Amino acid sequence: MHSALAEWSKRPDMVVHNDAPLNCEPPLAALAGEITATDGFYCRNHGPIPQISPADWRLTVAGPGTGPQPLGYQQVTELPAHELTATLVCAGNRRAELMGVRPMPGKEPWRQGAISTATWRGARLADVLVAAGVGGAPDAHVAFTGVDVAPEAAPPQPYGSSIPLAKAMAGEVLLAWAMNDEPLPRVHGGPIRVIAPGFIGARSVKWVTGITVQPGPSANYFQNVEYRLLPPDAEPAPGAGTPLSSLPLNCAVLTPGDGATVPAGPLDVTGYAVAEDCARIAAVEVSADGGDSWRRAALTPAHGRWSWRHWSLSINAEPGPLRLIARAVDDTGATQPESAAALWNPGGYANNSWTRLNLRVA
């Protein structure tokens, strides 16, 4: 077992992509429930994990209408508390499948577990902005700054990113101090982090200490260079490509595991589906004949817009090779793209191609 897992109170069977800083994803079995236990929640860290006590934590809020406003931990945690269940998804979830199309040296080969769900409690970002007296034009952006400096950030700078002001004011974006009813763990951004439900995980800035309302998106390396969709032959460069924000429709199979041998007879296939607004996931379809015919899985009840849906389907497995495909459908009838090859991009982001599984039925 990696000592980093024990150090950060993670279960010993996490799949570790990096020890320091810790980057790991849970085994798929840990994602079966609506809420992911904190010790199985994936970790995505670009730089060394800072240590800040609540007493030392300061947040500076700035923007049109006011000079920089310093806020302490107590001032933020005294604002009305809101709780919501939200799924965080790394934009690099399912990158390993893209790397199978064409390698991406140096990138973490995330499988299908760079996704987890927790209950978060915190103040509404909207309340913090209003309390600080910060205004902004309707098309303004809200930039967040953390304190961790990643080795790849050029020039060296703390981690940061931004979201549109309209999203910031929508009510679901929190400055969270609790995760699954415990104080927010340090590895997940404690004492306080941003939770921006429905957006890629990269926008949920951990150890947030700066919030600025400004005319355009953040110039931070992680908004302006990384976490952008580039054409296959392009090189990352400031402002190149499209910044990623809302989550694409996606799904994965949790059981059985890819490559497994399963007994003949009734076989329960289970998985998760996710989207920017999970209430708009209309169905998950499974094919056992290469996509010629599809059967609809049963979806678990929705737990609000920001939490994934689980699904299950019993199929009759006949001896021999069994190839399964799963895809989600939204309430417009749109579904996921068929091929990972067509989605390949240099950053390895936003792979939401059909999920494919090769099994053996004994």
Ligand X SMILES: Nc1nc2c(c(=O)[nH]1)N[C@H]1C(S)=C(S)[C@@H](COP(=O)(O)O)O[C@H]1N2
Provide the minimum distance between the beta carbon of 18 and ligand X in the complex, in angstroms, as a whole number.
11
Q: Which of 232, 298, 293, 225 is nearest to 268 (CA)?
A: 298
Cα–Cα distance for residue pair 122/194, rounded to 1 Å = 9
From the list 8, 73, 159, 354, which residue makes contact with ligand X (rule: CB under 6 A)?
159
Looking up tokens 């340090």 gives 186
Q: Which amino acid is at 333?
A: G
> By CB under 5 A, how many residues form the interface with Mo ion?
4
Around Cβ 259, how many Cβ atoms within 10 Å? 9
Reduced to 3 states (helix: H, G, I; strand: E, B; else coil), residue 38 is helix
From the list 44, 94, 111, 356, which residue makes contact with Mo ion (rule: CB under 5 A)?
44
From the list 17, 46, 121, 303, which residue makes contact with ligand X (rule: CB under 6 A)?
46
The first and second tokens of residue 278, run together, are 């999970």
Using the contact rule CB under 5 A, the part of the chain among 8-16, 39-47, 153-161, 323-331 near Mo ion is 39-47
Provide the minimum distance between the beta carbon of 349 and Mo ion in the complex, in angstroms, as a whole number.
9
Q: Which is nearer to Mo ion, 90 or 99 (CB)?
A: 90
Backbone angles phi and psi of 253, in degrees to 5: -95, 130
Binding to ligand X (CB under 6 A): which residues in 138-157? 146, 148
CB neighbours of 117 closer than 8 A, spacing ≥ 6?
34, 35, 36, 85, 86, 87, 88, 307, 308
Using the contact rule CB under 6 A, the part of the chain among 55-63, 203-211, 248-256, 313-321 near ligand X is 203-211
94 binds Mo ion (CB under 5 A): no
Provide the minimum distance between the beta carbon of 160 and ligand X in the complex, in angstroms, as a whole number.
8
221 binds ligand X (CB under 6 A): no
57 binds ligand X (CB under 6 A): no
From the list 17, 26, 28, 42, which residue makes contact with ligand X (rule: CB under 6 A)?
42
* Whether the bond into 321 is cis, omega within 30 of 0: no
Using the contact rule CB under 6 A, the part of the chain among 199-207, 304-312, 313-321, 330-338 near ligand X is 199-207
Long-range contacts of 337-342 (CB under 8 A, 24+ apart): 338/291, 340/97, 340/98, 340/100, 340/101, 341/101
Q: Which of 210, 214, 215, 237 is nearest to 226 (CA)?
A: 237
Using the contact rule CB under 5 A, the part of the chain among 32-40, 199-207, 307-315, 348-356 near Mo ion is 199-207
Using the contact rule CB under 6 A, the part of the chain among 26-34, 39-47, 296-304, 331-339 near ligand X is 39-47
Instruction: Summarize as ranges the residues that interact with Mo ion (CB under 5 A).
Output: 44, 90, 201-202
Instruction: Summarize as ranges the residues that interact with ligand X (CB under 6 A).
Output: 41-46, 88, 90, 146, 148, 159, 188-189, 201-202, 204-207
